Structure 1
Amino acid sequence: MAIRKLSPETVVQMLKDNGILKVKLFDADQNTMTALAGSGIEVMVAIPNDQLAVMGDYNRAKDWVKRNVTPVGNEPFLTSYNGSFLNTTFPALRNIQNALNDAGVGDSIKATVPLNADVYSSPTDQAYPSSGRFRSDINDLMTQIVQFLSQNKAPFTVNIYPFLSLYGNDDFPFDYAFFDGAPQPVVDKGTGIQYTNVFDANFDALVSALKAAGYGDLPIIVGEVGWPTDGDRNANTGYAIRFYNGLLPRLVGNRGTHSTLAWLH
């Protein structure tokens, strides 16, 4: 948390000066929204998880769209939430997108749900990306959501943090969290693809989960990716630099596995 916050106008100018044309906001702060208006920057505006329940009321959803135009929630299906948002997320998503459609902007503005990578996984006896499936406890719900996203030509949004693979897991191969080459690549027994980093493997597991649900052509946006610099033994500036030095050239050079390149937006 910054002690002296920069003004929204200053931040917007810094974004433009550095060629950053897409941002994600976690709420619809009016001052920030005003500063971004007309800037040419593409904005993803989130509805906080604690507001999902009220978005089950279509009139409330329409009112929100009038004031802000959106992801719905942020990682609402984390296992640590113990199902708190399972019954409110999809109704909120549906109402927000329908409100956008009714407002005549549904073709250009899409509602989506940024999800953590823990909504999918591979079974322990087939622990490779091509076996990726949505979590069994939310499989039906996820299928409903991806069907709705597909019907509205909206993207699937996922947050992937390779750092979390190391967090609390001493057995995870350390170099596999970065992009400069793991000593022993992980081979997918289903496809033969060799993975040298967990980001590509994680992403391709999502692609497999979407295919298994019948929506393999759904566009995917990585909403969040990064590396922390404090709070854990592996959270420091040196490792963050190593991570970004691998990630950013891959993004600029459009490098990755076939699945990653085909779906990543």
Structure 2
Amino acid sequence: MKPVSYHLLLLLLSLTAIAVPTSISATKIGITISSPASISGSVPISPERIVAKVVSMKIKAVRLLEPNPAMMRAFANTNVSLFLSIPNPLVPLLASDRSFALRWVYREVLPFHPRTKISVISVGNDVISSYSPDARPPLFLLPAMQNVQRSLAHLRMDKISVSTTFSFTNTIPMAFPPSSARFQQPNGELIIKPILKFLERTNSSFIINLHPYQIYRSSFLIPLGFALFGNSPLYFRDDLKSGVRYDNLFDMMVDAVISSMAAMGHKNLPLIVAATGWPSSGINASEVDATLLYSEMFLEALITRLRYGRGRRLRKEGVSEVYIFELVDTKQGVLNWGLVNDDMTNKYRSGLPGDNTNTNLQRLELILVLAVGACVLIVFIFVAHKFRYYLILLFGCLELAHFVGYWLRFT
């Protein structure tokens, strides 16, 4: 009979093989930055100071809500990719005048590229919401995107992708079940469908603002734990059509977007979430769930899932990029958002989003789980070896392997 140590080694190797999850490419995690004047009150924060903070937080992508020459210059040679948004008032002009589009690209992009790494240009931000339902749909959106794309190609910068940013709440009226989600009409057929064809042809991404907090606040049927990635068997929603069980609101909303694109024949388009997060405070007494604690819980769980490709969704690759709203504390309506205070000190105990504190903690937890598991296995092995209860040994190993595998994949 082979020694007990042989059986122990074999079982631990088997446990490791079962428990380690399949490697999935990580989502690029970025941050949104408003212009310095609006995010810091009466005292502007210098672009250099903002860039230094971004680099120190190991943030690899930044979304600028409007092109800022000083900010773009400060990001030169930092290897941080920029996502530029063109202000909404300029979009009709870009659509009607191709020479204006060329001048805009020549003035706002060419002087900084390629020293500043510009990866995406969004022609407008939630342009549809700027027009009332009774008004004529903004059909100029696609021509504006086409003119910007042609201008980039003319100046030999066609590697910069061109898209536009939509808002989840203004384009998808029903998020559940995600497999049945569709774009709101008539804008879906008149505006979004032609844009999807343009994005497919130019190898660009569909971009959307996606805030679980808004959906949570709009429905009393959504538990807080479901919105905050609560790891509990009580927090789930089953999509009977797709067979996917969702344990959080973010993944459910992402799949609603993917299903809406698929219904128009574009299920494989890359998806970028231009803005997401959880407010850290609210000036309105009704915003009781806008707290620093809940904001940190949401962001920690979101970043962990994106970094390690965890979760259940229709597409294995999920989203290609996610931008957290936003870097410096700012007020939007009655809610406050931001990862750092006006003096650039961190709001949260954990670094967020590039801090490795959570990674180290997870490694420690993994070591502890495996150590406890090894001890349990030793006990089972000796009991089975002494009393020949090999069924007990087999049962114990399988249960422990199942537990550790579940822990690694879905916590």
**TM-score normalised by length of structure 1:** 0.91
Cα separation, 2, equivalents of 1:198 and 1:185? 9
Q: Which residue of structure 2 aligns with residue 136 of structure 1? A: 185
How big is each residue's C-alpha offset from its partner over 1:39-93, in whole Å with a ceiling of 9 and x where there is no partner? 2110011101111111111111111111223111111123875457623322211
Structure possessing the higher radius of gyration over alpha carbons: 2
- Answer yes or no: is the 8 Å Cα contact 1:55–1:95 preserved in 2: yes
- Larger displacement relative to structure 2 (193-202 or 132-141): 132-141
Structure 1 counterpart of 2:153? 101
1:162 aligned residue: 212
Partners of 1:17 and 1:79 in 2: CA distance:
36
**Alignment partner of 1:89 is 2:161:** no
Q: Which has the higher contact order (CA 8 A, sep 6+)?
A: 2
Report the residue type matching 1:112 in the other structure: S
CA distance in 1 between counterparts of 2:138 and 2:94 reads 14
SS in 2 for 1:62: helix
Cα distance per residue 1:115-159 (max 9 Å; x no partner) = 111312448xxx301112111221212110010011000111111
Q: Distance in 2 between matches of 1:260 and 1:68?
A: 36
Residue 147, structure 1, aligned to residue 226, structure 2: no
What residue number does 2:230 align with?
180
Contact 2:251/2:313 (<8 A) preserved: no
Greater mean alpha carbon deviation, residues 73-82 or residues 218-227: 73-82
SS class of match (1:262): coil
The residue number in structure 2 matching 1:201 is: 252
When residues 168 and 201 of structure 1 are mapped into structure 2, their CA distance, relative to the original with a 3 A threshold, is closer
Contact 2:255 2:313 in 1 (8 A): no
**Unaligned 5+ residue runs, structure 2?**
1-38, 110-120, 321-411
Is the 1:49–1:85 Cα contact (8 Å) retained in structure 2?
A: no
* C-alpha distance in structure 2 between counterparts of 1:218 and 1:91, whole Å: 20
Tell me, yes or no, if structure 1 residue 24 matches structure 2 residue 63. Answer: yes
Measure, in 1, the Cα distance between the counterparts of 2:137 and 2:196. Answer: 17
Letter in 2 for 1:76: V
Aligned-residue CA RMSD (Å): 1.9
Distance 1:55 1:48 in 2: 11
Separation (CA, whole Å) in 2 of partners of 1:120 and 1:172: 17
Cα displacement (A) at 1:103? 1.7
Q: Distance in 1 between matches of 2:56 and 2:290?
A: 28
Matched to 2:216, the amino acid is L
Amino acid at match of 1:7: S
* Residues 42 and 217 of structure 1, relative CA distance in 2, 3 Å threshold: same
The corresponding residue for 2:353 is none
AA at the equivalent of 2:66:
D
Label 1:191 to 1:254 Cα distance change in 2 as closer, same or farther (>3 A). Answer: same
Following superposition, which runs of at least 4 residues in structure 1 exceed 4 angstroms of deviation? none
Paired residues of 2:199 and 2:205 also in contact (CA < 8 A): yes
Instruction: Tell me, in whole angstroms, the C-alpha distance in 1 between the residues paired with 2:165 and 2:92.
Output: 17
Q: What corresponds to 2:304 in structure 1?
A: 249
Aligned residues between the structures: 261
* Contact 2:63–2:84 (CA under 8 A) maintained in structure 1: yes
Give the letter for the 1:66 counterpart. Answer: Y
Q: Any conservation in 2 of the 1:155–1:221 contact (CA below 8 Å)?
A: yes
Q: Structure 2 CA distance, aligned partners of 1:103 and 1:263?
A: 33
- 2:40 matched to 1:2? yes
Alpha-carbon distance between aligned partners in 2 of 1:188 and 1:169, rounded to the nearest angstrom: 18
In the alignment, structure 1 residue 228 sits paired with structure 2 residue 279: yes
Shift of 1:12: 0.9
Task: Provide the identity percentage.
Answer: 26
Q: Which amino acid in 1 is paired with 2:103?
A: D
Cα offsets for 1:155-199 (capped at 9, x unmatched): 111111110012343343222211123524110011111111111
SS in 1 for 2:207: strand
1:206-221 to 2 correspondences below 5 Å: 206-221=257-272
User: Does structure 2 retain, via aligned residues, the 8 Å contact 1:76–1:85?
Assistant: no
Q: Which one of the candidate residues 102, 123, 126 is aligned to 1:62?
A: 102
- C-alpha separation between the residues in 2 aligned to 1:214 and 1:168? 30
User: Which amino acid counterpart does residue 179 of structure 1 have in structure 2?
Assistant: F
CA distance in 1: counterparts of 2:56 and 2:137, whole angstroms = 38
CA shift in 2, pair 1:202/1:79, >3 Å: farther
AA partner of residue 214 (structure 2): L
Offset from partner CA, 1:216-251 (integer Å, 9 cap, x none): 111111111111122222211111011112111111
One-letter identity of the residue aligned with 1:153: N
SS of alignment partner, residue 317 of structure 2 = helix
